[in-house]
């Protein structure tokens, strides 16, 4: 057998490897495992897997416990959105999720990824500017149209924002949609 032949990697093993790459487990098995990759404006981790952007905590749950039931939501026992420790995650319904959010006093408007009217935050704009990948992929992730992605990248929208110091996109592997963490971004949002 040639040394060049690719070892067959089980999809589950590949997923676990990808998740591990972005997971800080330094808090130990019982602690919160923090996502080191991209975090959206609500603090949830995102990662590209099998050609699309997915929530990191959902993938972590699936890798550890199996497929998420149809329509299932994955809730944090620890109330810590960037946490991906499967021991802190449990499956629930949309109703559970809403009840959970109300109970924890963090009900937010449904400005979710799919909402075309989602208000972009300055942080998201900076992340979009450094994201690599197709405009469709980026648009899907942020809930905006590919045309809007294009305008942001070309500086026709949000031109008041300074170019981010996190412009490391060029050093990243080609062919991956990578969103730079922007949690340290400093900027002033214009009216
Ligand atoms: Zn946790």
Q: What is the pLDDT of residue 164?
A: 44
What residues are paired with 76 via a beta bridge?
89
Query: How far is ligand 1, taken at its centre, from the CA of residue 84, in Å?
Result: 7
Name the E strands within the chain.
23-24, 34-35, 46-49, 52-55, 73-76, 89-92
Per run of 10 residues, the mean pLDDT along the chain (length 191 residues) is 57 88 95 92 88 91 86 86 94 70 51 43 74 79 81 76 44 45 37 33
Query: How far is ligand 1, taken at its centre, from the CA of residue 58, in Å?
Result: 13
Would the pTM count as exceeding 0.75? no
Query: How far is ligand 1, taken at its centre, from the CA of residue 96, in Å?
Result: 18
Q: What is the pLDDT of residue 162?
A: 55
Which residue ranges form the domains of the chain, and what is each CATH number? 11-103 (3.90.75), 115-191 (no CATH)
Query: How far is ligand 1, taken at its centre, from the CA of residue 161, in Å?
Result: 33
* CA–CA distance, 7 with 150 (Å, rounded to integer): 39
Q: What is the pLDDT of residue 184?
A: 37
């Amino acid at each position: 057998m040639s040394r060049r032949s690719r070892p067959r990697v089980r999809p589950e093993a590949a997923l676990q490897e990808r998740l591990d790459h972005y997971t800080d487990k330094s808090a130990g098995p019982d602690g919160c495992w923090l996502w080191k990759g991209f975090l959206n404006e609500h603090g949830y981790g995102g990662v590209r897997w099998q050609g699309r952007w997915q929530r990191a905590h959902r993938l972590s749950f699936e890798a550890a416990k199996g497929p998420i039931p149809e329509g299932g939501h994955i809730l944090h026992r620890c109330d810590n959105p960037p946490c991906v420790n499967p021991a802190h995650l449990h499956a629930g319904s949309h109703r559970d999720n809403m009840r959970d959010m109300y109970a924890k006093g963090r009900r937010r408007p449904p400005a979710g990824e799919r909402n075309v009217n989602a208000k972009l935050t300055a942080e998201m704009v900076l992340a979009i500017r450094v994201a690599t990948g197709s405009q469709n992929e980026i648009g899907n992730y942020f809930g905006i149209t590919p045309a809007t992605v294009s305008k942001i990248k070309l500086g026709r929208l949000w031109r008041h924002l300074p170019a981010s110091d996190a412009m490391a996109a060029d050093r990243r592997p080609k062919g991956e949609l990578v969103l730079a963490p922007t949690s340290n971004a400093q900027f002033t949002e214009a009216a």
